[in-house]
Structure 1
């Protein structure tokens, strides 16, 4: 599946039609996300977004907010369409997860700027570090946020290598949190390659 086109207004389901299709659509998205969700250690997870995952987010927001007016629908499209990869990049939601609130607060203070230290690397290439939170700042001098939005802008040569079968590694290089997945599972690598054009 190639997920390089923004979601159009005409392609969205009405609230009534979405209510009918929601159980099957939700199950499809859950299954799809299995090959696009990557734990990095015990406390950090990347979910690589694409057209399907973002379409689901938009439909869910319209449903929750009971939005059927054109202006509201356009606002959701403008908010979420930038999270759809456009052929030269991967886009991911990064979550920092600590069940205990006190521990989470302490770690969010230790992990300032971690979002800028997440990387992807095709075998034989230098790592590409994330461009984080282009929509708004999500950290300050005291702590980072538990959720960040990342973009990995990939050189054409790396895209070609990945499409030709190069191994993919993903990691974090931060003083308080350093981890690497040296070989991303093949099903995930193939799913992510579907987002790319070379």
Structure 2
């Protein structure tokens, strides 16, 4: 999947004019790319369109229009676009009650390293979490993590042939597994170029 360049982005004026339609397109696109692992954990699988939306929103909010500032946003977000042999996801750990969230994040330190993908008939693929970012410290975890799942060619071929796909967490503190729907499996398989 190609990385974004400045020429792929709308100017602030053009984005303001077309924002509602673009936002609706992205929200519809994200539906098949969202996977709830359980009541409190969600994986949001990123791709070129979801990252373009994120960059456009950051440019809009921060009112960034200088070439250097735009390039900084591209440099920050482009690594979240899949590279052809992987899937990339934002993991959200969500507890609506602030005190419960504080307790659970303290209890779940390192949980991001126990998230996996599994193609039917193949071994689990454990996520590489938070590359170049320390998001867990002193035994507690953060509410947001960035994950990369590296797939072997045989796993990608199996997905293209229709093999099922599941994601989960292999940890006694929070053991979860969810099978991807057919729509989600198809959307994610399209990320392998």
TM-score w.r.t. structure 1 length?
0.96
Other-structure match for 2:27:
30
Other-structure match for 2:49:
52
In structure 2, distance between residues paired with 1:13 and 1:41: 36
Displacement after TM superposition at 1:175 (Å): 2.1
Q: Which runs of 4+ in 1 moved over 2 A?
A: none
Structure 2: runs of 5 or more not aligned: none
Task: Number of aligned residue pairs: give it.
Answer: 193
Other-structure match for 1:73:
70
1:99 equivalent to 2:96? Answer: yes
What per-residue deviation string (whole Å, max 9, x for no partner) do you get for residues 21-62 of structure 1? 100000011111110000111000000000000000000000
In structure 1, distance between residues paired with 2:18 and 2:118: 38
TM-score w.r.t. structure 2 length?
0.98
What per-residue deviation string (whole Å, max 9, x for no partner) do you get for residues 157-185 of structure 1? 1001001100111111122100111x310
Mapped contact 2:108–2:139 kept (Cα < 8 A): no
Alignment of 1:1-198 (within 5 A): 4-181=1-178, 183-197=179-193
Structure 1: runs of 5 or more not aligned: none
3-state SS of paired residue (1:45): strand
Cα RMSD after superposing both structures: 0.7
